[in-house]
Structure 1
């Protein structure tokens, strides 16, 4: 693991995708659910490709059904992250998921926020929440999700985003939903450039005023796009462990994290759906050290970039800089 003095900050994690298998099994027993096929022999989640990953993700997510369940999920993930030196994390939640799970969005969101409250009080880690569109449900559902999000702006809600299958629909079709969120004061992010190539990123930044892109790593295939990302200061929420697990790149030697950084693109490290990809924030920083050759100052610069790109308020950023031991202008050097 990286030196414990390197504080870590995460901008890209799907809450249900962060559910530890042991917690999911316990919740399954609580509700008397049949979870056969969800786990491999070693106790990890069983999946082989993107389609089976989504099925496993949905199976694990389905065990969380109440305010208390989501509170425990959030607290458990943040506590585990804090043990690895994470001082800040933003998690994605979905109004569409709450509807499908049969829980009110207010209870869903309130549970997550309550869990974050306990994690911050007990472990010092600061948590924030980003509601998002599930792209594969289409533009009309996206507008409804945005309306739900802006009607429930708890203090820990800090942004708005989009995940889901980027092969479906054009980003411009989601502009009305993002407009609702943006006009409510929520900064924007969107997944792009993971399953699809650089045109997905290009179309997204042309259509939606995003400050960050989830993944975005396939931007490396278009030098003009790489220059644009650098010039416009659009931050990439990179998830190397996820990218290798899902076959976006064959190995870490092929991953463009360092090339993007060296081209002036702002890059961060994130765990995405950590137990599904056998990763964690500690492992992501270890990958950057061992596979990408980043030293302690390089890793601290990644954390500084994440803090500057975080969707939280300036007072929280100042606290995080202090806790990370960053000089005020570190990320701007």
Structure 2
């Protein structure tokens, strides 16, 4: 049923930015199946007949199962054409969901062996992003992310790589994977390299671990935007600090529930974050594993928290303001958000 049939505006028509989308996790399920069949790759039932998979990261074993599925999905990307297809389809999917700007996050070291090293793979991704942007009209940029289960020296290598591409398609530097693993402070050197290069600092924190880890990301990594950060809601003083510092939170409701952080969508503390004045950008995280894309995050929060269209429009505005989009792109998208809100529901 169309959303406007209930007197609500169509959320797919709401212009928005997408700031939390992982490279492999952006893949369409149909593309995964097709590429696996092409190369005779046997996929686990959780990625075929039981898709989207039942997931939990409540313990280390649960995260291991999640990571295994992610690694299997990565393995189907065998050729340059596969990479270009993934990027183009991610852009098409975001445009279909009202996306006007996308910052896609990638760890080049996960693909280095098959694509002639991290530099060659980064060149390929940036070229694919430029082509997809031209083809779809979607503004796009790349965040290079280190993997916190690898050695911090590897993160420094990736930070230097990201710094080389600063201003040439790479806008930020992140830190991903299970935030319960490794020592966050050990990655301060890598983030220092990225900070000196003028890149936005966007580590994951505050999903699988609580406010204490968010504070570490702020103190040791100088986070300017937090991947997730949703559990900042548990500490009013920390949340106030985040608001005062203007640190945006990339909240991914569907993945929060799928990974067992919250029992259901109504438990995702979006109202607490908004009432405190936090900047929140809704993101899909890994649609391939969680089964929900950008539009789904807005629709889920509308339904779970009875959000008015004015609140949803403000969420869209915040996603644009928290982005690295050029000023002219921001201005155009913000104007179109206002136009969406002025239009009558169903118009």
The separation in 2 between residues aligned to 1:188 and 1:256, in whole angstroms, is: 24
The separation in 1 between residues aligned to 2:50 and 2:186, in whole angstroms, is: 42
- Partner residue, 2:251: 238
Higher mean alpha-carbon deviation, 233-242 vs 294-303, is at 294-303
Query: What is the SS of the residue equivalent to 1:136?
Result: coil
Query: What is the SS of the residue equivalent to 1:237?
Result: strand
1:17 paired with 2:25, answer yes
2:224–2:247 Cα contact (<8 Å) kept = yes
The separation in 2 between residues aligned to 1:19 and 1:45, in whole angstroms, is: 15
1:46–1:56 Cα contact (<8 Å) kept = no
**CA deviations over 1:147-201 (Å, ceiling 9, x no partner):** 2222344722111111112112332211110111111111111100111111000
Task: Figure out how many residues of one structure are paired with residues of the other and give that number.
Answer: 327
TM-score normalised according to structure 2 size: 0.87
TM superposition shift of 1:102: 4.4
The separation in 2 between residues aligned to 1:57 and 1:164, in whole angstroms, is: 11
CA pair 45-247 structure 1, distance change in 2 beyond 3 A: closer
- Partner residue, 2:13: 5
- Partner residue, 1:143: 156
- Partner residue, 1:282: 295
Higher mean alpha-carbon deviation, 213-222 vs 163-172, is at 163-172
- Partner residue, 2:284: 271
The separation in 2 between residues aligned to 1:61 and 1:55, in whole angstroms, is: 10
CA pair 260-157 structure 1, distance change in 2 beyond 3 A: same
**CA deviations over 1:46-88 (Å, ceiling 9, x no partner):** 7564321111011001111333221110101110121121111
Query: What is the SS of the residue equivalent to 1:108?
Result: helix
Query: What is the SS of the residue equivalent to 1:271?
Result: coil
TM superposition shift of 1:218: 1.2
- Aligned with 2:40 (options 32, 38, 41): 32
1:104 paired with 2:112, answer no
Counterpart mapping for 1:313-328 below 5 A: 313-325=326-338
Listed as ranges, the gaps of 5+ residues in structure 2 are: 4-8, 57-61, 341-347
The separation in 2 between residues aligned to 1:81 and 1:152, in whole angstroms, is: 24
Listed as ranges, the gaps of 5+ residues in structure 1 are: 328-333
TM superposition shift of 1:124: 2.0
Counterpart mapping for 1:1-333 below 5 A: 3=10, 4-37=12-45, 39-45=47-53, 49-153=62-166, 155-325=168-338
TM-score normalised according to structure 1 size: 0.91
TM superposition shift of 1:43: 5.0
The separation in 2 between residues aligned to 1:313 and 1:190, in whole angstroms, is: 22
1:15–1:91 Cα contact (<8 Å) kept = yes
Query: What is the SS of the residue equivalent to 1:99?
Result: coil
1:39–1:46 Cα contact (<8 Å) kept = no
Higher mean alpha-carbon deviation, 171-180 vs 95-104, is at 95-104
1:288–1:294 Cα contact (<8 Å) kept = yes
